[in-house]
Chains A and B, each alone.
Chain A
């Protein structure tokens, strides 16, 4: 069988395990596995720059941040609040309706062409770097400003409030 369908099956399986496992630590670990399958998808599409960035930024930085917060708040025991089964049922029905609508719309488009890489070197670092630092130089600089303000905001939010002097 084609490699794509196997990896897609693994993605869906791990994504389901993320939202249905009781322990938040298990959720984070399954989310890391999901992102790993996404990295394989990027490699299959020959988007090597995005594969590496996904691997380093998502699986490395963001997931470590999640795990760190969960361990900091000591949530690894089963202190999980559960919603009533009615709300759960309604949520699953709502999500399933969204999925059905999107899939029906895609099916209505008819048979699609296979994904063929027109330019094989499209996602390489050299090609993307030229576009990123040429055509998209201003958004790139603005995103650095965004990251900076996010860092300041995170530090400002997470520091303890000093008691206000009357």
Chain B
């Protein structure tokens, strides 16, 4: 454990921020470029996780445990969101027989 903890002591805060920004941008690109509703949902999960990691990093950096408590709440929220979202996806599939989000443009105009 000590050797693991020593491995982190030379990582600057900026590198953590850049890593989380890269993962978040990958999530944004996934939402913008894919048409399968489930893959879009997975990209949203990716974005939530990158924010979780960044909150934990700041919490460890400042020595304040509040950030980690917030990550716990975000995880509870993500579980609720996934349950409702997947139920909506199942319902959409039952009504349209496809997961293509371009079929769902009736609210567009």
Using A45-B60, A112-B13 as known contacts, say yes or no to A53 and B79 having CB atoms under 8 A apart. Answer: no
A73 CB → nearest B CB, Å: 5
Interface string of B10-38 (1 = CB under 8 A from A): 11111111110111111111101111101
Chain A CB within 10 Å, residue with most, of B12, B28, B52, B100: B28
- Interface contact B82-A62, CB-CB below 8 Å: yes
Counting CB contacts under 8 A, is B80 at the interface?
A: yes
B4 within 8 A of A: yes
Interface residues of B in 52-109 (CB under 8 A from A): 52-53, 56-57, 59-63, 65-66, 68-69, 71-73, 75-84, 86-91, 93-94, 98-100, 102
A interface SS class: helix
- Number of residue pairs spanning A and B whose beta carbons lie under 8 angstroms apart: 254
Partner of B21, one of A53, A80, A99, A160: A99
Seen from chain B, the residues whose Cβ lies within 8 Å of a Cβ on chain A are 4-5, 7-19, 21-30, 32-36, 38-39, 41-43, 45-46, 49, 52-53, 56-57, 59-63, 65-66, 68-69, 71-73, 75-84, 86-91, 93-94, 98-100, 102
A interface with B by C-beta (< 8 Å): 2-5, 8, 11-12, 15-16, 18-19, 24, 27-28, 31, 34-35, 38, 41-47, 49-50, 53-54, 57-58, 61-62, 65-66, 69-70, 72-73, 75, 80-83, 87-88, 90-92, 94-96, 98-99, 102-103, 106-107, 109, 111-120, 122-123, 127-128, 131-132, 136, 139, 143, 146-147, 149-151, 153-155, 157-158, 160
